Structure 1
Amino acid sequence: MTTVLNCALNCILLENSFAFIVDVNETNTTANSKVEVGQLKIGHLKYLIWNQRKAIQQSPNDYDLMNLWKIDISKFKSDITEEQIKTEGEQLDPCV
């Protein structure tokens, strides 16, 4: 079966500025099921990000321990600090 890419998320880890890409497909495999892109919740995205991070470097044992932030990096001319992310960004609620 062919996997159809819907979008790609650019992710940066605050603790070490490690950057990587997470593919979001039309159908995504999460911890317990397959989820269509239109049905994805923040908790599903956390799992997809955690799973990709786990594949490329050591990561926490539980994806629920991760906090996700949404920020428009085009607003910044230089490196972004953790404080800027917290003041300028939006922490994503896993219940949404």
Structure 2
Amino acid sequence: MSFIWSLIIGGVIGWLAGLITGRDIPGGIFGNIIAGFIGAWLGSLILGNWGPDIGGFAVIPAIIGSIILVLIVSFILRRVGNNRKYGEA
């Protein structure tokens, strides 16, 4: 049951990061879950584990890490899309 709880919290964190940045996360709900998990890892690496803890996630660093991740992924996808649009590889 704790695994399912972690998936839900990871999805919510990824969804919040997408809302805050105003950018879509590729992959729908699975993209949100992945962004939540990777963002939580990234946020705890950068900021440590502080603030409220829900489902094994330090919420504030996880959201900040997910925001950073969403911005990086959207920047990369935009660059790749622009290169394909103009015929560059």
Point out which structure has higher relative CO (alpha carbons under 8 A, 6+ apart).
2
Name whichever structure is richer in helix by fraction.
2
TM bucket normalised to smaller: 0.3 to 0.5
TM-score, L = length of structure 1: 0.32
TM-score, L = length of structure 2: 0.34
Name whichever structure is richer in strand by fraction.
1
